[in-house]
Amino acid sequence: MLNYSCTFKDIRDINCSELLASNKNPDDAMLSILCSMDDTIATLVAIRERFMLLPEKEQKDYLVGLKNLARLRGLTSLVKKEVEDKMPVTIDISNDETFLAGKREGLLEGEKRGLQEGKQEGKLEGILEGIEVALDIKYGSEGLFLMDDIRKIGTIEKLEAFKEEVRKASSVNKLMRFLMG
C-alpha cells in the first residue's frame, strides 16, 4: 500500500519575491502576480524584465497569460501600464474569446437600446402627428400655430396630456395656457 501526502498553500500567502528569485523560469514570474507583494510596481517591473529575455512569440504568450491572471487580482490597468505598454510586442485581441464575448454583449445591448429608442421616437412622432391633425381639424391654422411649441415637449406623458387637452379645450387660448403652465 502506498500513502501520499501533500501540503496545500494559498498562493496569496507566498511572497512573490520567492518566485521571482527562482531559476529565471517565466512561468514562476507570471504566477508571482498572484502572490503577496510588498511593492506591486517593482514586482511588475521584475516580471517585465523576465519576459523581455524571451523570444517575441513567447513574450506575447506570457503577456496574455499575465493579463489573464491580473484580472484575478484587479491589476489589469497596472499590468497594461507597467508591462504591456513597455514591451516591444503587440497583442491582437480581435480573436480573444473574452474580447469577442464582450463585443457580442455590447452589440446586443446597443441593438436593444436602439430598438427601445426607436419605439420611443416612433411613439412621439405618432402622437405629434395625431395632435397636429386634431388641431387642424378643430382649430385650423390658428391651432397649427401651436405646433412649434408642442414639438418642444419631450415626453410621451406630457404629449398624451396635451392630446387629451385638445379634446376638451374650447379654444386655442386654453391650449396656450396649458402649454405655458
Q: What is the pLDDT of residues 23-73, one digit of tens each?
A: 778 999 999 999 999 999 999 999 999 999 999 899 989 998 999 899 999
Write the pLDDT tens digit of every residue in 95-122: 777 778 888 888 888 888 888 888 888 8
Residue 56 lies in a domain: yes
pLDDT score of 29: 92
Gyration radius of the chain's alpha carbons: 33
Residue 90: pLDDT band (50, 70, 90) is confident
Verify that 130 and 81 share a domain, yes or no.
no
As a whole number, the mean pLDDT across the chain is 88
User: Is 98 a member of any domain?
Assistant: no
Residue 106 lies in a domain: no
Does residue 81 share a domain with residue 23? yes
How high is the pLDDT of residue 31?
93
The whole domain housing 163 covers 118-180
pLDDT at 154: 81
Is residue 15 over pLDDT 80? yes
Is the same domain home to 72 and 124? no
Average pLDDT of the segment spanning 131-137: 88
User: Is 148 within the bounds of a domain?
Assistant: yes
Residues 80, 129 within the same domain: no
The grid cell for 102 is: 464582450
Residue 44 covered by a domain: yes
Among all chains, which residue has been given the C-alpha cell 396649458? 178
Is the same domain home to 169 and 123? yes
Once rounded to an integer, what is the mean pLDDT over residues 130-144? 88
Is 104 inside any structural domain? no
Check residue 23 and give its pLDDT. 74
Confidence of residue 94 (pLDDT cuts 50, 70, 90): confident
Three-state SS annotation for 105-134: HHHHHHHHHHHHHHHHHHHHHHHHHHHHHH
**What gap in Å lies between CA 33 and CA 80, rounded to an integer?**
13
Q: Considering its fold, how many domains does the chain have in total?
A: 2
pLDDT of residue 110: 81
Alpha-helical segments (H) within the chain: 16-21, 26-31, 40-52, 56-73, 76-82, 97-139, 141-144, 147-151, 156-168, 172-180
Question: Would you call 42 exposed, middle or buried from its count of C-beta atoms within 10 A (0-12, 13-18, 19+)?
Answer: middle
Q: Do 80 and 24 sit in the same domain of this protein?
A: yes
Is position 99 within any domain? no
Place of cell 519576459: 51
Cell reading at 81: 501600464
Q: How many Å from the N-terminal Cα to the C-terminal Cα in the chain?
A: 92
- The pLDDT of residue 143 is above 80: yes
| Residue 18 and residue 78 in one domain | yes
Please give the Cα distance from 30 to 20 (Å, whole number): 9
Query: Are 81 and 122 in a shared domain?
Result: no
Residue 112 inside a domain? The answer is no
